[in-house]
Amino acid sequence: MVARAARAADLADLDGAVSDCFACPRLVDWREEVARTRRAAFRDQRYWGRPVPGFGAADARLAILGLAPAAHGGNRTGRIFTGDRSGDVLFAALHRAGLANQPTSVAADDGLALRDTRIFAAVRCAPPDNKPTPAERDTCAPWLHREVALIRPTLRVVVALGAFAWAAWWPVLREVYGVRPPSPRPAFGHGAHWSGTTAPALLGCYHVSQQNTFTGRLTPGMLDDVFARAKQLAGVD
């Protein structure tokens, strides 16, 4: 898989390779089982049931790094953060920030377009209980590394949604930018900020999970502040 990721000549090539990955048996079994059984509300829909590629601008100045696709969201629709409550919150915030042309993301063909932004996940398959293992994260890492390498010329800031994504970013520094990650690693927190000299800035943001948004741990105003800061660091008007 490492060699296959490295061979991807552009994002379209990478997306096709990601969609055909079978590297993690536990994740393959789960994503396919969910696609077969389906949730009652979506019983008439055909699930994607495969790894979910990144989505957004090829010349992105701002990237959003999530954890993994949702079982009945991206695993169903084939597009990251599409068709679930987390996506409802995220894309509404991106629309308010002027980074998305519409506030909703319900299907891969719904006309959504991102401005100066690309979204991808540390793990590309939906995991049981939304909890990929560190080994699965590391196995999936070459896809992330190649995606960042392809948008490296324009990328200026990365927003990490949650501690898992925050931890997944540090190996990118070494593999893509040839930079030794900081030691000790900066702690994750909402609004945390790390900047290097040759790599993109990193911002921490609580994940847009229902657990966080329904309880008020993450509010729309908090998201707006993070994306305003990200736009400033990325030089996006």
The structure's pTM equals 0.97
Looking at the predicted structure, is the pLDDT value of residue 12 above 80? Answer: yes
Written as six digits, the tokens of 236 are 């996006």
CA-CA distance, 186 to 167, in Å (whole number)?
9
Residue whose C-alpha is closest to residue 119's, from 80, 157, 167, 153: 80
Pairing of strands 117-121, 55-56: antiparallel
User: At 52, is the pLDDT very low, low, confident or very high (cuts 50, 70, 90)?
Assistant: very high
Tell whether omega for the bond before 132 is within 30 degrees of 0, i.e. cis. Answer: no
Tens digit of each residue's pLDDT (9 = 90 or more) over 36-47: 999 999 999 999
pLDDT digit string, tens, across residues 188-215 = 999 999 998 899 999 999 999 999 999 9
What is the per-residue pLDDT across 88-130, written as a single tens digit (0 to 9) for each?
999 999 999 999 999 999 999 999 999 999 999 999 999 999 9
For residue 161, the surrounding DSSP H or E stretch is strand 157-161
